[in-house]
Structure 1
Amino acid sequence: MDVLYRCIKEALRLHPPLIMLLRSSHSDFSVTTRDGKEYDIPKGHIVATSPAFANRLPHIYKDPDTYDPNRFAAGREEDKLAGAFSYISFGGGRHGCLGEPFAYLQIKAIWSRLLRNFELELISPFPEIDWNAMVVGVKGKVMVRYKRQQLPVN
């Protein structure tokens, strides 16, 4: 299941379900960029980040637009290179999604069943992403051909 987990995590890195994460600052603080530029964030202001952007930062992820589940394998672990918030498909910290472990459990159960029992083939072009929706989806239809696998009977 470790390979399946990494595949799902990589799919969610490239295509996170939420376009924006918003938080309200509880105190004044400063942020310094990698270039040394400093920004002051006053108490009460809204702070936003985009998982779709943050999960593809090239200084964290090698070849960030390439699907590579092994980037999460032991010894490589690119999602931990820049700290706890390098991977934010489910948010992070005390405001991270409490359902993350359950989501992975459900997705792994569904995909393990599909992959064990069916041959799947994408027959439409890879879909365009609909970035205008609050929960990110695809534009138009995604056509998949499926065929039940012939399992040996012994």
Structure 2
Amino acid sequence: MRRLVLPFASVLVFLPGCQSAASTVATPLVSCADAQFEGSRARLAADVDVPPEPVGGVRAVQERVRIPREGPRIATPDGRFVDLRAVIDTTGAVRCSDVLHAETEAKGLAARRAVHASPFEPGRHEGVLTDVIVDLRLDVRGEGTPRVVRGDQIGL
């Protein structure tokens, strides 16, 4: 099972560390196609020395996903995954995100909300904090299935 998909790289780096300021407040759902992000100096995760990593790993992000009931549907093998692209800023907050692949719009939106509510360890290049573009693959199986999340996993 892949946990983190980095563009043009197959190396996964898991970093222990403290929580950023982003751990207490979810950032607004903004698309990276928004005009305010044109000309952004964000680097690709494959181009930095230390790519951003969700605090608690990708599993902590997946546990924040809340999918509304969508009614009966035909299950597909890829239906349990949502692929996202996000920009993580120097504070560890998610500045913007876009869904690359999701079986339904509801799953894509639920995954984006979970990513925006998650704190990240910021990326570094040559020892300097930098904005980084990351690709994430979240396992969002389940239709309206309640997930148990401890308070320490959501920054309470």
Same fold (TM over 0.5): no
Larger RCO (alpha carbons 8 Å, 6+ apart): 2
State TM-score, norm by structure 1: 0.23
Rg larger in 1 or in 2?
A: 1
Between Structure 1 and Structure 2, the one with more helix by share is 1
State TM-score, norm by structure 2: 0.23
